[in-house]
């Protein structure tokens, strides 16, 4: 594995792109269903489409000939995050990155582009959880799987401290691995981000959602290194023409990559 020193990325600063009338930005990413994924060998998804719109906005409204390139291999959230954090200039991180106060001391964020929805899932054979306070009985003997350092880990640890002190927690390396554990271990449960849950349902994988456990709290944003001067330009893009997330283009992007079920779930939290 490359050290973070080797894996740092670089892109043109906004000041440089503006003065030259052209520039290139680098887009690091973590592959996430719906958000950044490969279709016919090409990267697409909500994040990719929004960034394409951002590049187009800069070209049209600023008269700057901006182009974008992908960097990294998309395999690791932590790798992508740390590499963006240690990079310079016009570098952006794409994926399911939650905006938190703690992270704001390490990286810069764009405005939120979506509210995440965390879904409590189990194998289908587990009885439906009717009330969170009953979880220690309904989920008795089940193991919670999660990836360290994620908000879904925090959600599960909150359940443990509030309702289920005897809960067993087992660690895996990623969200896809969490899902794999649920599929093979009949006595398991976890939180999955909306995109991963929808992808599993779409592929006919045997998972059961427990709606009482749904949580819609955090928002996702694009990330930039602390030394980036692109944040104001992103803020302007998101605010233009009545707000990007109110636009028809944005709503089409959501439908295209999350489907009607996903869009309805997202609308239910507003």
196 in the same domain as 236: no
Residue 140: give the domain boundaries. 118-213
Q: Are residues 72 and 14 in the same domain?
A: yes
* Domain match, 108 and 224 both: yes
**Does residue 101 sit in the same domain as residue 222?**
yes
CATH of the domain at 259: 3.40.190.10
Q: Are residues 196 and 152 in the same domain?
A: yes
Asked whether residue 102 falls in the same domain as residue 234, the answer is yes
64 and 21, same domain (yes or no): yes
Task: Based on the fold, state whether residues 109 and 223 are members of the same structural domain.
Answer: yes
Are 38 and 139 members of one domain?
no
pLDDT in tens, 186-245: 999 999 988 889 889 888 999 999 999 998 778 999 999 999 999 999 999 999 999 999
Listed in sequence order, the residues at least 6 apart from 161 whose beta carbon sits closer than 8 Å to its beta carbon are none
Give pTM, 2 decimals.
0.80
Q: Tell me the pairing of strands 114-115 and 118-122.
A: unpaired
Which among 213, 240, 255 is the end of a domain? 213
pLDDT digits (tens, 9 = 90+) for 26-77: 999 999 889 999 999 999 999 999 999 999 999 999 999 999 999 999 988 8
The C-alpha atoms of residue 159 and residue 256 are separated, in whole angstroms, by 34
Q: How many other C-beta atoms are found inside a 10 Å radius of the C-beta of residue 215? A: 16
């Amino acid at each position: 594995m490359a050290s973070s020193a080797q894996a740092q990325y670089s892109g043109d600063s906004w000041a440089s792109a503006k003065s030259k009338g052209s520039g290139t930005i680098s887009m690091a990413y973590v592959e996430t269903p719906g958000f950044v994924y490969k279709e016919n060998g090409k990267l697409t998804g909500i994040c990719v489409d929004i960034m394409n719109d951002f590049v187009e906005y800069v070209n049209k409204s600023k008269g700057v000939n901006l182009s974008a390139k992908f960097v990294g291999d998309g395999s690791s959230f932590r790798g992508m995050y740390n590499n963006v954090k240690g990079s310079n200039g016009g570098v952006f991180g794409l994926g399911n990155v939650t905006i938190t106060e703690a992270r704001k001391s390490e990286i810069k964020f764009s405005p939120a582009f979506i509210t995440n929805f965390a879904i409590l899932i189990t194998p289908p054979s587990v009885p439906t959880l009717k009330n969170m306070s009953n979880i220690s009985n309904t989920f008795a003997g089940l193991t919670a799987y999660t990836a360290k350092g994620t908000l879904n880990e925090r959600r599960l640890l909150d359940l443990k401290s509030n309702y289920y002190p005897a809960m067993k927690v087992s660690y895996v390396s990623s969200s896809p691995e969490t899902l794999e554990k649920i599929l093979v271990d009949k006595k398991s449960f976890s939180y999955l981000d909306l995109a991963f849950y929808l992808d599993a349902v779409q592929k006919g994988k045997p998972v059961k959602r427990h709606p009482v456990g749904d949580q819609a709290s955090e928002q996702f944003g694009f990330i930039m290194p602390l030394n980036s001067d692109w944040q104001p330009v992103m803020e302007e893009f998101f605010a233009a023409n009545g707000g990007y997330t109110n636009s028809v283009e944005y709503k089409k992007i959501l439908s295209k990559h999350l489907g009607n079920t996903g869009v309805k779930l997202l609308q239910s939290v507003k």
